[in-house]
Amino acid sequence: MEIIQFLNTDGTLLDGAEVRLSDEQALAGLRLMMLARAADRRAMSLQRQGRFGTFGPVMGQEAAFAGSAMALDPARDWIVPQYREMPALLHHGYPLECWFGHFKGNAAAAEIPDDVRMFPIQISLAVQIPHAVGLAWGLRLRGLSGIVICYFGDGASSEGDFHEACNLAGIVKAPVVLFLSDNGWAISTPREKQTAGATFAERGPTYGFPGIVVDGNDLFAVHAVTLEAVERARAGLGPTLIEARTYRMGPHTTADDPTRYVDPAERAVWEARDPVDRVQRYLTAKGLWDDAAEETCVKEIATEVDDAVEAAERHAPPGVDDLFEHAYASLSPRLRRQRDALSRRVPS
């Protein structure tokens, strides 16, 4: 299956590539990727200081999530995330301070604003995929024009939830884009040990809809492919499975040590395909990016990240009741006993 690519690693466009992002949008996409990378680094630092929870860095995969999110209409489309799609969430309207609040374990600080159409960040692999298909089907049954994009990784595609959701999506022609980020690893399991198939995308036609493979480190190709899938879903033609070929440049999460299983030579190959560098080179060639522009952008982003961290940390820490607040409409006697016992042990 052909891998769709628009940008060479030196930032030049391939012959025949039809970019669907304006120069202004390309600059915005670059800034979004740089913001995500800066927030990633700050989060890593905070986690090592004990001020942040375990999280999955997005470094190296920014174009996959930024490019795809830029194909959506935040006023009517929905995002159903897994846990590594920070650039997509930010573009869709989720505040950076809420992202920091989520991984600090503070539900109040992480609350999704009412006007942001996204489901909560999901840690359990693949369980969000059936939800996304149900949401998409529901939007169509209500006569609404919104579509749903569901993010998940190559590891999640080995779960039964993925196959069950694909089957239903194909049958009802749900307006959903199934966006599989193939970053090379399911924690420490390489993709070649996960599937005997040449691609993950080839599973799409077996469920009655297209499967596409795209260079996930190419902002323009990802955007164009996703936009086509969005337009197809909005026209009532059903789902598309997109496999974005990218690479996880950091650990699976901050609890992982990739030096134990990642070949440095393989990593070096992917470093040359860095998604941020490619867009910077493209814009430099067009006279839209230089050292001064980068310096200004980096300073603005640093301030934005500082402000988001400070805002997240101003929220009161969660209390014992927060563990039980949204579990049931009415707590069972057993859960009340657990809550009361924990409250006695944890000072308020």
Marked catalytic residue, from 37, 84, 245, 252: 252
* Cα 13 to Cα 220: distance, rounded to the nearest angstrom: 10
Cβ neighbours around 133 below 10 Å, total: 28
314 is catalytic: no
Nearest to 188 by CA among 222, 150, 148, 154: 154
Marked catalytic residue, from 261, 314, 336, 337: 261
Distances in whole angstroms, Cα of residue 21 to Cα of each of 93, 217, 347: 19, 16, 54
The residues with which 316 forms a beta bridge, in sequence order, are none
Q: CB-based burial of residue 10 (10 Å sphere; 0-12 exposed, 13-18 middle, 19+ buried)?
A: exposed
Marked catalytic residue, from 92, 232, 248, 281: 248
191 is catalytic: no
Asked if 170 contacts 164 with a C-beta cutoff of 8 angstroms, the reply is no
261 is catalytic: yes
Strands 189-190 and 185-186 come out as antiparallel
Catalytic residues: 248, 252, 261
